[in-house]
Chain A
Amino acid sequence: MSSQPQREMNSESLEPRPRTPMSDAEARNWLQRTWDDGKGFTSWFQQVHHTVIGRRYIITAFCFFLLGGLLAALMRIQLSHPENHFLSPDFYNQVFTMHGSTMMFLFAVPVMEAFGIYMIPLMMGTRNIAFPRLNAYSWYLYVCGGIMLYVAFVLNTGPDVGWFAYPPLSGPDFSPGKRADFWAQMITFTEVAALAVAVEIITTIFKLRAVGMSLNRIPLFGWAMLIHSFMVIFAMPAVALDSSMLLMDRLISTHFFNPAEGGDALLYQHVFWFFGHPEVYIIFVPAMGIVSEIIATFSRRPVFGYPALVLALVANGFVGFGLWVHHMFATGLPMMGYSFFTAASLMIAIPSAVQIFCWIATLWTGRINWKTPLIFVIGFFAIFVLGGLTGVMLASVPLDTQVHDTYFVVAHFHYVLIGGALFPLFGGIYYWFPKITGRMLSEKLGLWHFWLFFIGFNLTFFPMHILGLKGMPRRVYTYLPQNGWGTMNFIATVGALFMTAGVLFWLYNIWTSYRRGPLAGDNPWGASSLEWATNSPPPIYNFDELPTVNSRTPLWTATAENPVIRGLRIDDREVLITRVLDAEPDHINSFPKPSPWPFWSAMATTALFVGSIFNGYALYIGAIPLAFTLTMWFWPKKHEIALEEAEGVRR
């Protein structure tokens, strides 16, 4: 990669224009003015920059994480000894449903997308995410969906049918009232938001990459988010459809899941798990991306086996869709199908193993720099490998019929989800916090956080394996003293205490470091990817000059003469669009400015969704304001057209 793109841009694609000599400071002023979304109350509802929305997404997701954790603590107190009367069965059922739904729909998926929204445009070396207004819209929808669910919960209308909401228990006959409806509509909210983000991330990765970042140079976190987004696009419509069918059964008396009228209760499970299993990989794949980034940075070498890791991620994406039936081994389906899904479920271990081995090889030959992000990744190894191996056990039909729906499974998926996603995520926070805030997190508090959380986690969830083998089913609000499950449950509750303490240390760390932490500088870890090529925190226009890339580890191979892209207008929000495969410059596009209409569209959508819980006609009536706000969103604005058509200031 030479300075070819730069010359091309200057001489051909952007023809005659006044060449005003301009100082860097002056150019930065222009960029600041152009990309600034404004401050103040009304501007807040109009902001569209990905770092702003990304930060909101991250904070919101962690708020839901804390709420979900609080609910988990309630459950652990209730289960600490047999026949406890701390929670009533009715409330317990709401609590465990809310815990599962919160963690899956309001925390795990959104938080991964949040990091994608914040980091992907920076990693790709561009100035904003594709479709920035859609991005803002998706955040409003996500927040409204979450708030709706929690308002319902506070009003004793929290869903009480499990995060999977199997009919007929969730159907009109056995779940009267509006509890299950709120759950089903929360799904619609979060799925629309997730689909929007997936589209943005795919487009950003495919079309907004820095010049020179051909497909084989995309950072592994970028690949992970790409696979994640494609999986979202294929998996999420299934659950949105399923929950809508459930809603129709409940609201307008359809019979999709009513066997008495030719419906089928198993149909729901098939469609749900067609989403539900890929969901696990939707959560887990971005975390793999984070792990790859952290391992490369802290072992001071490029990750070993880049092509193998990318192929493993792709394989995860494909095979992840072929094993949903292993959630239904107890339903009594035909043997032939079972064997297929057993084989597929074992096969998914192969890409995961490839990744683990490649990372170990990277660490083996690297020079290790013991910092908190890496320590969390080491924790991830221990926990995730164990969780993966219990997953291998669950792939076997006979074993699964014994431990399915017991605490063994609870232990398994907490090992893979907390180990496989939350530990890398914590590592990611320690890794990227300096980039996002400009300040370092405390290493000492980080170690406290890690050890408390790691020990607490194993204390909580390891005994659950044994509980499951001893016959304790899931989702029970209590158990009998003579079952002999008391000791293990008490240990688990003590472990939850440790985890809580760990999270408190983490929060305290963030609180103090955000205010008084040491300044980070642009690239505190000496990392290789493009997000570290700009200031911490990044300016609103991300990069003074759009970078180019000449290897997989651009900042490690950059030279002083590394070319940058010039010729974009700095008085208009212009970004460079590059080609999908080789990331050669293609054309220039003007990006949307701040707008209040994503917010109003989200409000109209919310009214429609919430209204349709109570009355089917809300769908028709609610469409009117929605159509209006969407029209306003896309209505051409004179001054914006004029700005885009003007000659403009370039650099």
Chain B
Amino acid sequence: MIRLFAFWAGTFNDHSVTEAMGRQAAVIAHEWWFFFAVCTTVFIITMLFLARALMKRRTVEDVPLATGPAVLDPRRERTLTIAVSSAMGVTVVTLFVLLFVSISTGASIRHFNSKNAVTIQVMGHQWWWHVIYQNTAASETLQTANEIHIPVGKPVVILTSSNDVIHSFWVPNITGKRDLIPGYSTALWIQADKPGRFRGQCAEFCGHQHAHMAFYIVAQEQNDFDAWERAQINPAVTPAPGSLQEKGMQKFMAGPCVMCHTIRGTDAGGAVGPDLTHVASRSTIAAGTLDFNHENLLKWVRNSQDIKPGNKMPAMQITDDDLNAIVAYLESLK
């Protein structure tokens, strides 16, 4: 039996409920295997009883309709009553056990109290994730998108909200999902126990590109996390005068890009699309859809509608030279 479980578990890839990388997911995965074992047992027992009932040699072939209905034997009916009642008793007890396990699991993953936990505000947009690391000093507040860095082994608070429609925040390796509902802000705790990149995806239908609304949680050791945070707070790098990157920056600032995107340290301050200040430090673009690399950037900036039809970024009418320059500039935004 255990080998069977292991085989099944082994067929899962990394983006999976049973492959726990965080405290809550681990507890839930335990609960899952418990429920799985109980339910499988119940299923098998019920099916065995059904099979036994059907295989009794009292079947009638071809002449059944002439034979009248069975005459009920009162003693056997009594036995049946006892059998069914005791089966019900077992069922009720089993359900109580499941209820107890469920509620105690729920209680154990609800709070990780911790002073000065990292607090991250996550806001859902059609179809990307806006991530804000709050800080009492406004200059230390940093914004990014679609990639949430957290320290390993430390509780983190996620404050959720939505900018437009209902989305749902879900990283199967870390914890269960939480809906992001306009007008509501909720708080949930998460904690990653192993370093790594864990994929999350929007789980509530939110329109055209619900399918391409992913993000990553990057769990890092505290030192790496601090370094990352310090780097992210810095404004964007200014390209060297006369370089291709500088031309790209000029095109960016003169073109439609600037209407929607923010690059801190420049004139770009749009709030419609993701913050691009350190876009090159992220591993994906288009909300976890494409890897961050030169070809993908070219494709995406030229006509994002080919890749994510219906997304809010319009197709650009720009020359190849300008496109190359803009992409070079974006690639420099480490």
Contacts and interface: CB of A to CB of B under 8 A. Distances in A.
A330 B95 contact: no
A234 to B, nearest CB: 25
A160 B68 CA distance: 55
Contacts of A469: 12, 16-18, 32
A556 interface: yes
Interface string B15-34: 11110000011011001100
19 contacts: A90-B309, A168-B182, A266-B184, A299-B70, A330-B203, A331-B184, A346-B95, A360-B46, A360-B50, A368-B54, A370-B61, A393-B32, A396-B102, A401-B178, A402-B172, A403-B17, A470-B12, A473-B210, A478-B211
Interface string B230-273: 00000000000000000000000000000000000000000000
Interface in B59-112: 59-61, 64-70, 72-73, 76-77, 80-81, 83-84, 87-88, 91-92, 95, 98-99, 101-103, 105-107, 109-110
Given A342-B99, A358-B84, A484 B15 contact: yes
A331 B50 contact: no
A471 B25 CA distance: 13
Nearest to A404: B177
B70 to A, nearest CB: 4
B316 interface: no
B240 to A, nearest CB: 36
A528 interface: yes
B11 interface: yes
Interface stretch (B114-122, B160-168, B216-224, B274-282): B160-168
B80 A304 contact: yes
A335 interface: yes
Contacts of B91: 349-350, 353
A470 B43 contact: no
Interface string A293-318: 00000011110110010000000000
Nearest to B207: A169
Contacts of A69: none
Interface in A364-380: 364-370, 378
A173 B162 CA distance: 14
A252 to B, nearest CB: 21
A474 B205 contact: yes
A259 interface: yes
Given A330-B177, A332-B178, A392-B39, 17 more contacts: A169-B206, A330-B176, A339-B103, A361-B80, A361-B83, A365-B76, A365-B80, A369-B65, A378-B50, A393-B36, A396-B98, A400-B176, A401-B178, A470-B13, A471-B15, A471-B199, A473-B170
B53 A364 contact: yes
Closest 7 CB pairs of A and B: A259-B183, A401-B176, A396-B102, A476-B211, A301-B70, A389-B39, A369-B64
B206 A265 contact: no
B37 to A, nearest CB: 11
B289 interface: yes
B50 A398 contact: no
B204 interface: yes
Nearest to A382: B47
A149 to B, nearest CB: 19
Given A398-B176, A399-B28, A338 B17 contact: no
Nearest to B188: A332
Contacts of A466: 8, 11-12
A361 B53 CA distance: 8
B310 A90 contact: yes
Interface string A467-499: 011110111111110011000000000000000
Interface residues of B, number: 96
A471 B102 contact: no
A524 interface: yes
A367 B88 CA distance: 25
Nearest to A329: B176
B102 A397 contact: yes
Contacts of A395: 98, 102
B334 interface: no
Given A330-B168, A469-B17, A484-B15, A367 B58 contact: yes
A402 B211 contact: no
Contacts of B170: 473
A354 B186 CA distance: 40
A397 to B, nearest CB: 5
Nearest to B24: A398
A526 interface: yes
B218 to A, nearest CB: 17
